[in-house]
Amino acid sequence: MTSMDDIRNKVRLLEHGVDHVHSSAFPGNYPGYDDDWSKEKFERNFKIQIIHITNEVKRHTGIGMDLDYIDEMEFDMIGIDAAIANAIRRILIAEVPSMAIEKVHIYNNTSIIQDEVLAHRLGLVPIKADPRLFEYAQPGAEDEGTEEDTLEFRLKVKCTKNPAARDSTDPDQMYRDHKITTKYFEWLPKGNQEHLGNIGPVRDNILLAKMRPGQELDLRLFCVKGVGKDHTKFSPVATASYRLLPSIELLRPVEGADADKLQRCFSPGVIGLTTGKKGKKKAFVADARRDTISREVFRHEELKDAVKLERMRDHFIFSVESVGALRPEVLVVEAIKVLQAKCHTLLQELEEQTQPAAS
């Protein structure tokens, strides 16, 4: 028998569907429950718990141990409705500003990559610059921008032969400057921009083009401030997602071979095994958070009635990975500021609409 609290607070996962999906926590819906939308109640129930922040890790690429930098954050947001959680996610993706290459002046391009393809690649290079220090470029402004709204880079490189590697067949030894990466970006500060610090691509090993002797590039790049809803190159996050906290309950003891089978039905670490009184293996829920809710257990007739799968309706596990310009914890704060500004704008417009017209 499902209790009223479970219906209100949890989403139930069934074999062929999902139950209790609709939010019903609004005033007067259930007699005897305090569903008042008061600020005091929200502040009392709302929590943010940071699980981990990763700034750099080593990854195995298949060739060797390469140092790869990742700005990633996982945190729990508890005590809010799905609409608010999704608003924060969408704002992170589409409305928190960042800097990106908007214009490319091509003076020479003798590589095999067409001008428009090269310009598109350059536009997708993440730029390490704090967008809060810049203004939005105004429509119709001068082409090269100003120090308040534009960053300028030069990319000028020519591929040549390496005389010392006559007998080699390795392009890395045969040619000089044949792999054009973001390390060739040269920042050209405008006005008083020198005080901004180290400005440039977030990585210096992003491959842009490959050339052969005699080929060269001579470009000027102009970065402006923008948001992801205008173009994805302005999105400051690589990923921004959330999921509901899983809740797993064993409805009866699961022992012996069934315990092993139950463990294999879930992600590693979700179901643990212990030794019962009679020496048999016995299953228990070790860490429900690790579960991905695959519902594999429902494929087994002997196990489908032993497990109750649910998700907490107001507990969201967020994962935010920054492209590198701003730290993920900063991006989350900026997203909440954008949401606050939207709320203030809406309240102001409602107040203006409800004011009596002047006689």
Tens digit of pLDDT for each residue in 226-280?
A: 999 999 999 999 999 999 999 999 999 999 999 999 999 999 999 999 987 778 8
Tell me, what's the pLDDT at 1? Answer: 59
E strands, 159-265, where?
A: 160-161, 175-176, 179-181, 186-187, 200-201, 207-210, 216-226, 237-250
pLDDT band at residue 42, thresholds of 50, 70 and 90?
confident
Q: Residue 67: pLDDT above 60?
A: no
Instruction: Name which of 325, 106, 155, 345 is nearest 226 in CA terms.
Output: 325
Tell me, what's the pLDDT at 25? Answer: 72
pLDDT band at residue 358, thresholds of 50, 70 and 90?
low
Which helix H or strand E contains 91, and what residues bound it? helix 82-94
Q: Residue 115: pLDDT above 60?
A: yes
Calculate the CA 274 to chain-centre distance: 38
Q: Residue 167: pLDDT above 60?
A: yes
pLDDT band at residue 56, thresholds of 50, 70 and 90?
low
Question: What's the rounded Cα separation, in Å, for the pair 256 and 277?
Answer: 12
Are the C-beta atoms of 146 and 190 separated by less than 8 Å? yes
Which helix H or strand E contains 193, and what residues bound it? none
The reported pTM is 0.86
Amino acid at the residue 107: Y
Tell me, what's the pLDDT at 63? Answer: 43
Tell me, what's the pLDDT at 145? Answer: 86
Report the mean per-residue pLDDT for the chain. 89
Q: Residue 57: pLDDT above 60?
A: no
